[in-house]
Copies of this chain bind each other. A is one copy, B any other.
Amino acid sequence: MHIRFLASPINPADINQIEGVYPLRPTFTKELGVLPDGEHKELAVGGNEGVAEVIAVGDQIEDLKVGDWVVMGRSGFGTWRTHAAATPNDVTRIDKGIGSLQAATLTVNACTAFRMLKDFATLKEGDFVIQNGANSGVGQAVIQIAHAWNIKTINIVRNRPEIEDLKARLKSLGATYIVTDEELGCYKTKDLIKEWTNINDNNVGIKLGLNCVGGKISTEMAKYLCRSGYHVTYGAMSRQPITIPASLLIFKDIKFLGYWMSRWYQYHSKEERSEMMNEIIGLIRQGKLGDVAHDEVTWGSSNENDESLKIKLLDALDKSYTGFHGKKQILQFQL
């Protein structure tokens, strides 16, 4: 089948993949065309996330038709391009009725947040989740999905000059409590968190901690988890390892686990992928899961030449790479 991409974001992991420091390689092929020197060299297309429209299907394909929207069903497909040939297993059909930019950013951040809230602790309404890097793309999705499910969140963010604005913004997304990294270690905050979560003994309290930072803040966070709680690492923004006191493992039975969305896609069926997508799209339609902050990078309008496109792409990559630009760069293909 053939698909044309509508929109594809640039995620930090895409850049790590190009740098060769990401454990998943993109799909290399000799079919992407001939190099200027005439050689058929192995090439790969960057990008792991995106939404595309089906523009042609073979006779054997029954569950997809021309006009359907699809997102990527696996990592490493290569989404920074206008057109591609794909197999049905490369993609997951999604319900329309959300914008293409929303659809383009479904499969990484929102799905990571969704799965981490579902697949570790058994959370019920009123339960608590604590997370660091709460302002990250995944962090914001965690806040919103948890809020939609009546799960309370304690959100750790780095202190910064405009901290009150950030707190207000996260509150508006549904964050229950927000503390800064500096506040986290204070006795006053410890008491506050105990009060919020009604920690009377080790068996109640916070069942799940989500860590995308690493280092000291991830250890501090682990200490707030209840007995047999889950500490799930899905990122390492500080580039620091996690240090665990043995007592948290032995006596408190905290489980230190990792989460990687790409692995989930590898081991789960098309049906499971669809079910997750539909649930997330439902939240978007109900207004419970909003857009990520982003810049639209339009691509392929008639007055652009190769050189201007290259500059545009490099600029978007630069903005994604520096990370603290704060907005996701999304390529929007105009055809």
Residues of A within 8 A of B (CB): 23, 214, 233-236, 241-260, 263
- A216 CB to closest chain B CB (Å) equals 12
Report chain B residues within 8 Å CB of A255.
255-257
Name A246's contact: one of B23, B214, B247, B252 (CB within 8 Å). B214
10 smallest CB-CB distances across A and B, nearest first, come from A249-B258, A236-B246, A256-B256, A250-B258, A233-B249, A23-B251, A242-B244, A241-B245, A241-B243, A250-B260
Copies in the complex: 2
Report chain B residues within 8 Å CB of A249.
233, 242, 256-258
Given A236-B246, A249-B257, output 18 extra A-B contacts at Cβ < 8 Å: A214-B246, A236-B247, A236-B250, A241-B243, A241-B246, A242-B244, A244-B256, A248-B258, A250-B260, A251-B260, A252-B258, A253-B258, A253-B260, A253-B263, A255-B255, A255-B256, A256-B256, A256-B257
Q: Which residue in chain B gives the minimum CB-CB distance to A236?
A: B246
- A226 CB to closest chain B CB (Å) equals 14
Report chain B residues within 8 Å CB of A23.
247, 251
Assembled-state Cα–Cα distance A257/B254 (Å): 7
Assembled-state Cα–Cα distance A143/B254 (Å): 27
Assembled-state Cα–Cα distance A194/B37 (Å): 42
Report chain B residues within 8 Å CB of A254.
258
- A125 CB to closest chain B CB (Å) equals 26
- A294 CB to closest chain B CB (Å) equals 24
Instruction: State whether B242 touches A243 (Cβ < 8 A).
Output: yes
- A214 CB to closest chain B CB (Å) equals 5
Report chain B residues within 8 Å CB of A244.
241-244, 256
Report chain B residues within 8 Å CB of A233.
246, 249-250
Q: Which residue in chain B gives the minimum CB-CB distance to A238?
A: B246
Assembled-state Cα–Cα distance A251/B17 (Å): 13
- A266 CB to closest chain B CB (Å) equals 11
- Of A23, A241, A250, A252, the most chain B CB neighbours within 10 A belong to A250
Instruction: State whether A246 touches B256 (Cβ < 8 A).
Output: no
Assembled-state Cα–Cα distance A40/B214 (Å): 52
Q: Which residue in chain B gives the minimum CB-CB distance to A239?
A: B246
